[in-house]
A = this chain, B = another copy of it.
Amino acid sequence: MSDAAQLSTSLRRGTLEFCVLAMVEREDCYGTEIVRRLGAERSLATTEGTIYPLLSRLRRVGWLNSEWSESPSGPPRRYYTLTDSGRAALAHFRTEWVSFRQTVDRLVGIGEQ
């Protein structure tokens, strides 16, 4: 893997799952759709090999529910919805993220140049 890709990979850790939660909060989604939308964000582009295990994990800890739904064309889709505890986790992340981001900004000196 290239250095640049590896940098993004590390950065993704810990935020990716909450980006997925936020995406589902806005609108119920299915797996392939999530992969596609994240693919549009350079810093968060990822693959099915990441997303499907991640979605299983989020279901297992009770932050997402899912139900099967027919597709207008193609195989059935598993749509995900945010649970109450998922909503709470997302809220907690939002405050944690703001504080984390500010700390990093200060330490690496973003805004000084």
Report how many residues on chain A are interfacial, defined by Cβ distance under 8 Å: 35
Q: Are B108 and A104 in contact (CB under 8 A)?
A: no
Bound CA–CA A61/B92 (angstroms)? 36
Query: With A10-B13, A11-B15, A14-B10 known to touch, is A108 a contact of B103 (CB < 8 Å)?
Result: no
Count identical subunits in the complex.
2
In the bound complex, residues from chain B placing their C-beta under 8 Å from that of A13 are 10-11, 13-14
Q: Are A103 and B44 in contact (CB under 8 A)?
A: yes
In the bound complex, residues from chain B placing their C-beta under 8 Å from that of A107 are 19, 22-23, 41, 44
Q: Which of A52-60, A68-76, A93-101 makes up part of the contact surface? A: A93-101
Query: With A44-B107, A99-B43, A104-B19 known to touch, is A11 a contact of B14 (CB < 8 Å)?
Result: yes
